[in-house]
Amino acid sequence: MKIKILALALTMFVSVQAQKENKDKIVETKTRVINVMEDGKMIEKKVMVKTTKEQEIKTDPSYKGKLNAPRVFPATKVSKVIYIDNDNDPFYDETATVTYYQKDGMVYNFNPTDSGFEIVDNKSKKMIGNARFSNNAEVYLFNTKDYSGIGYFKDNMFVVEYYDDEGTLIIEKFNDSKL
């Protein structure tokens, strides 16, 4: 009897855990060794890039409650973590994280900084703005050369709100990128 109860409890636990994860996730790791000339000496450095692609698993909402609903493919969130080893110890000395979002068909890198993050055009590599931490942990102070406003993350998007010169509230949305 105890074995049956234990088997039933284990089955319930496994089924609950399987239902929690509703994402496809692919993690790819590449490591390269680079020889760099510093002060007349050849120094070996290691660079490891860990790319994570995540996409929610969803079905067409118009088929809600029906069997065999077709799958829809929402935007994929792509993150890269770059690890750099400057010496020959087993530890990486520096890390950098890049997340990609898109807006109006353009792809932007969200590069973390000590005060928030910078938004860089992926194609031209020019910085278009930065978002800095505010006193409210959910809101960023967002600045570009054209306007200033607030930004926040909502539904896998980075949303920017600001007022134009006529006093109209403008809302821009950066969606997860499909790279």
Domain that residue 35 falls in = 22-176
Strands 169-176 and 58-59: unpaired
Q: What per-residue confidence (pLDDT) applies to 18?
A: 46
Instruction: Tell me if 1 is assigned to some domain.
Output: no
Q: What per-residue confidence (pLDDT) applies to 16?
A: 47
Give the whole-angstrom CA distance, residue 116 versus residue 157.
16
Q: How many domains does the chain have?
A: 1
Instruction: Tell me if 55 is assigned to some domain.
Output: yes
Instruction: Tell me if 16 is assigned to some domain.
Output: no
Spell out, as residue ranges, where the chain has pLDDT lower than 50: 15-19
Are 49 and 33 a contacting pair, CB within 8 Å?
Answer: no
Q: What per-residue confidence (pLDDT) applies to 143?
A: 92
Residues in CB range of 118: below 8 A, 6 or more apart? 110, 111, 127, 129, 130, 131
